Amino acid sequence: MYYNVSQLLKESVGSTRTYEVSGSLTLEGSEATLAPRGRVSMMRTDRGIWVDVGVDVQSQATCSRCLERFTHSSKLVMGEEYVPTVDLTTGRPLDARSVDEGVFTIDHRHCLDLREALEEYTITNQPMKPLCSEACGGLCSVCGARRDAGGCGVCQEGPAHSGLGALVGLLGRAGR
Ligand SMILES: [Zn+2]
Ligand SMILES: [Zn+2]
């Protein structure tokens, strides 16, 4: 996710490159890992390089109901301009004031690192309460086991307080 763009920076405005994105990265401050797959296209602008990314991201998340770890698949689309921090011909650092705060930058080796932007976009796109599935029944409030539509299969507690729920509970117990 690290691209040397010195060639592209030497070309005229409108020149493009396309790369494949693969590999994985670990999100800072969490054990979540991301595995983006897809394409990145770059275009020389008058200021720097415009980067368009469209990737499928597999990330690890914890279900907010049952607390089980699961793989969350999402689509990440972003468009950002990266600006150089050193002068291409002299290698001298550019005046920091000419680089806006919060803008993505190309480092002193003319490399563009997608990692930071991918992390930022993934974090802002993450659901506040991730669910392993919409139908996730969460945890049984009595025994703490994972429960499905028929209850936890251990106690009779559960969303289904019907005769069927109790029967499922009994069957679950008998099967142990
Ligand atoms: Zn769940
Ligand atoms: Zn239970």
Q: Nearest ligand, CA of residue 172? A: 2
More reliable by pLDDT, 131 or 150: 131
Tell me which residue of 52, 46, 51 sits closest to 9, measured CA to CA: 46
pLDDT at residue 164 greater than cutoff 70? no
Could you give the CA distance from residue 155 to residue 26 in angstroms, rounded to a whole number?
39
Q: Nearest ligand, CA of residue 154? A: 2
Interval 14-59: pLDDT, tens: 999 999 888 887 777 665 677 888 999 999 999 999 999 988 887 7
Tell me which residue of 13, 37, 35, 17 sits closest to 26, measured CA to CA: 35
Could you give the CA distance from residue 105 to residue 60 in angstroms, rounded to a whole number?
28
Q: How far apart are the first and last CA of the chain?
A: 49
| Residue 37 structure tokens | 């797959």
Interval 54-102: pLDDT, tens: 888 877 888 999 999 888 888 889 999 999 988 888 888 887 666 677 7
Q: Tell me how far the alpha carbon of residue 133 lies from the centroid of ligand 2, in angstroms.
A: 20
Q: Tell me how far the alpha carbon of residue 156 lies from the centroid of ligand 2, in angstroms.
A: 7
Q: Tell me how far the alpha carbon of residue 113 lies from the centroid of ligand 1, in angstroms.
A: 34
Q: Kindly indicate the confidence band of residue 158, based on its pLDDT and cuts at 50, 70 and 90.
A: very low
pTM above the 0.85 mark? no
Residue type, 27: L
